[in-house]
Amino acid sequence: MRREDPGVRVTGLPLDSRAVADSADALSDADVAVVDASVDATEALEVFKAMREHRPSLPIGVLFCCPHAAKAHRLRAFVAAGAGGFLDLRLSAEETLAALQGLARGRGVFQLELAEGSSTGLSEALGGGRAQLSDPDKGLLNLVMRGLTDCEIGRELYISPHTVKHRIERLRRQAHARNRIQLAAWAAHQDTGSGDDGERPDA
């Protein structure tokens, strides 16, 4: 994301939980916050909690620099603290902006590439192991991971938002996920593929 983008104003704050109170004005004006957990995840979690205490309704995402930094226990701690999404530095400027816009609108976003071989630990931490999924369910989960709303998913798949909600709830129960972020994290370790986003009517 470019700082000079006319639609975005970026304010950098120190990664220090004690500095959150001194940044009250910036936090009060923010639409979304991102905590960088790349270097010191423990301090980042403290900053996250301080931000949440200062402004409970602020959507907060967590940034990891690379797949190896996103350990299962760290993701679990941020989910428990109320993280609205996870991002990594591999995203393009456009993808980052779209993810932040989604977070600001209250959508769960999981745009985080994970290290090969980490699936077992993360699945255990965030809700179950691998599951047998139908192609329509795989497509639906891909859209959930992109942070789309029920209405947006319905338009993509040509089904009603009510049907989308019902299917997401079924998948959430299957994954033992408490929310869409946990469902997206679980879905990231299923064999969802990256092509077709689900069923569409024949032309």
For the stretch 129-140, pLDDT in tens is: 456 788 899 899
Structural domain contains residue 196: no
Query: Which of 89, 30, 90 lies closest to 55, judged by CA?
Result: 30
Domain of residue 141, CATH code:
1.10.10.10
- pLDDT for 68 equals 75
Residues 111, 138, single domain; the answer is no
The structural domain count of the chain equals 2
pLDDT at 8 over 70: no
Residues 90, 167, single domain; the answer is no
Residues 97, 168, single domain; the answer is no
Structural domain contains residue 80: yes
Structural domain contains residue 6: no
Q: What are the b/e assignments for 159-193, b being 16+ CB within 10 Å?
A: beeeebeebbeebbeebebeebbbbbbbbbbbebe
Query: Which of 38, 53, 59, 167 lies closest to 112, judged by CA?
Result: 38
100 or 176, which is more confident:
100
**Which SS3 state, helix, strand or coil, does residue 92 take?**
coil
Strand spans (E) along 9-163: 33-36, 60-64, 85-88, 109-111
Rounded distance, CA 122 to CA 118, Å? Answer: 6
Structural domain contains residue 127: no
Residues 108, 141, single domain; the answer is no
The pLDDT tens digits of the residues spanning 78-95 come to: 888 888 888 888 888 888
| Domain that residue 157 falls in | 133-187
CA pseudo-torsion sign 74, 149, 57, 14: positive
pTM (global) more than 0.75: no
Domain of residue 66, CATH code:
3.40.50.2300
Residues 50, 111, single domain; the answer is yes
Question: 17-21, 84-88, 114-118, 185-189: lowest mean pLDDT where?
Answer: 114-118
Residues 22, 92, single domain; the answer is yes
pLDDT at 160 over 90: yes
Instruction: Taking residues 154-177, report their average pLDDT.
Output: 90
Residues 102, 142, single domain; the answer is no
- pLDDT for 202 equals 35
User: Which tokens go with 104?
Assistant: 């600001």
Domain boundary among the residues 82, 116, 150 is at 116
